[in-house]
Structures are given as C-alpha cells and as structure tokens.
Amino acid sequence: MTRKLSIVTFIVLLTIMGCKQEKTQNSKVDTAQAEIDSNTVKVPTSWIENRVAKAKEKLETSDAGKIVWEAMEAHGGLARWFANGPISFHFDYQPLDGGEPRNTNQVVDTWRGRARHFSAVDSTQQFGWNGEEAWVKAKDSTVFNYNTRFWSLTPYFFMGQPFVLAGKGTNLELLDQVEFKDNLYQAVKVTFDSGTGDAPDDYYVLYFNTRSRKLEVIRYIVSYPGYFEKGKHLPEKFMELLGEQTVDGITFPKNYKTYWLNEENAPGEHITDIKLSEIKFLPELKSSYFDVPKGAEVLKGL
C-alpha cells in the first residue's frame, strides 16, 4: 500500500508541475497532505469518503446489509472508524477449559489489515502481520505457545465488529429474529467468498438489538486450515458482548464471555473470558511501524 501511495503522490506532483502557477493554496495543502500520508498509516479524507460510500451502497442492497449498516452507525459510524486511524488496545483472552491464555497489547492498521502484538508481560516479545507475511520475535517458542499467524488479526476481527464487515468477500444473510435475555434481535449470518483470508469457511451469526441497533452476540465457528482439515471445524461458540466503552466516538464492549452453543442455540458451558481495555487511536502512526522488525523470524505456512 505504501508503494501505491507513493505512486499517487508522484502523479499529483507531475500534474502540479504541468499546470499554471495560479494554483490555489488549497491545492498546495492537498499535495502536502498526500506527501504526509505516504509516510503514515492515515489516508486522505477523500479515500475514506469513497470507501465508505461504496460500503454503504453495497450494504443497502439487502435487508441484512441494511441492518449491518445501521449497526455501524449505532457504534459510531464507518467514516469515523477509518478517520480515527490505527487502533491500539489490550486484549486479554483467558480460557476456562485449560487452553492457552493469550494476553497481548496490539496495534492494528484498520485500513489495510496489518497488526503488531506485544506480550503484556514482556513488550520485547512480539509478533505480527505486515499484510503479506506473519512474523515473530521471541526468545523461544514457549513465549507465544499458540499459532501467532492465526492470532495476529483474530482479536481485531472481534473487537472491530461490525466495521470489519465492510470488507471484500463478505456475504450477509438475514435469518429469523431471535430472543435472548428478554431482548429481541435481528440475526444476520456472515459467510465469505473462497479465498477471503486464511479461513474462508468460517461463519458468524450476529445478533443486533432491535432497539439499540448494536451488536450484542456473536456466534461463530473456527475452521482455520492450520488447525483443521478442509470441511472440519470446532463446534459453534456463543460469544456475549458485555458493557460499553466509547473512545473517540466509537463504541466497543468491555468484556466478552464465550460459551459452547447448546442444542437450543443458547449458551451452554462457559469456556472463555476476555477483557478489552486501553483502547486508543493513533492517527499519526508511521506506516513503517508494521514492517517486520530486525531479528524477527518470518513464519512459513499456516
């Protein structure tokens, strides 16, 4: 993406050189902004407006999409989500069934889907995804005793709901309304086109409160090919989003409780607690922040 931004800047400069000297001050400001954006993660406002307009146009072609768009607005708006820039947060994932805890501070490029994680215990221990390659920088394999490529963007996909549904390759289906804890919900099933991400066979069923329009439940499966053969996956889980915190106009949950889904499509055994905290946006972050750091190992395969 940095290369693409550099090309855009080069074209803008050539255009200016070929025009008359009566260019307005606004043109100079726009050019300066383009030059700044080539070095930072933040993108020009016009890019955001275009992407949001396309997402809205796509979503409003279906009833399920309209519900998702309303949820985005209820959570603060897709335009504000992108305009705020990269996001930093603490995601403390604590299994209750003997699984491996995953406790990291992380920074995510919401525009390009890049991520960098730091161990909450020792920030020199890191892993991430630069948009093309997964990497890890740790003293030994016991520091992150789980698949770090899989986990690079997994927390973001949950905390970034419903905004992450604006991506390409996402399909939405409206299901029957459901009741949970005396509330009525619009249920939307999310599936993915083949080749979308590492696990296109994943699916999600999202519960949007009919009154607040906000997302309150995520049902999902894990079919990551690094864990499962084609066609296989974990049983469906039921994740409840609890509490609210608003940062720079965007509303997030404070906690997540995850259960195995039972035969009544309701929460069964409680298996995981997650705390989401220390959220802040970093609009001036340099794009090179997501580069593979010196001394890191680039991971092969899934």
CATH number of the domain at 115, please: 2.50.20.10
Domains in the chain: how many in total?
Answer: 2
Residue 25, domain extent: 2-37
Separation between Cα atoms, residue 72 and residue 162, nearest integer Å? 6
Cβ partners under 8 Å of residue 98, min gap 6: none
Regarding whether 134 and 89 lie in a shared domain, the answer is yes
In a domain, 248, yes or no: yes
Tens-binned pLDDT, residue by residue, of the chain (302 aa): 443 334 333 333 333 334 434 333 333 334 334 444 568 999 999 999 999 999 999 999 999 999 999 999 999 999 999 999 999 999 999 999 889 999 999 999 999 999 999 999 999 999 999 999 999 999 999 999 999 999 999 999 999 999 999 988 999 999 999 999 999 999 999 999 887 767 778 999 999 999 999 999 999 998 887 876 576 678 999 999 999 999 999 999 999 999 999 999 999 999 999 999 999 999 999 999 999 999 999 999 88
Cβ partners under 8 Å of residue 23, min gap 6: 16
Tokens of 16: 């200016």
Regarding whether 94 and 18 lie in a shared domain, the answer is no
Helices (H) and strands (E) in the chain, counts: 6, 16
Nearest residue to 224 (alpha-carbon basis) of 295, 151, 287, 157 = 151
Separation between Cα atoms, residue 163 and residue 167, nearest integer Å? 8
Separation between Cα atoms, residue 134 and residue 150, nearest integer Å? 9
Contact call for residues 240 and 267 (beta carbons, < 8 A): yes
pLDDT (0 to 100) of residue 80: 98
Using only the alpha carbons of the chain, give its radius of gyration. Answer: 21
pLDDT (0 to 100) of residue 2: 40
In a domain, 53, yes or no: no
pLDDT (0 to 100) of residue 38: 62
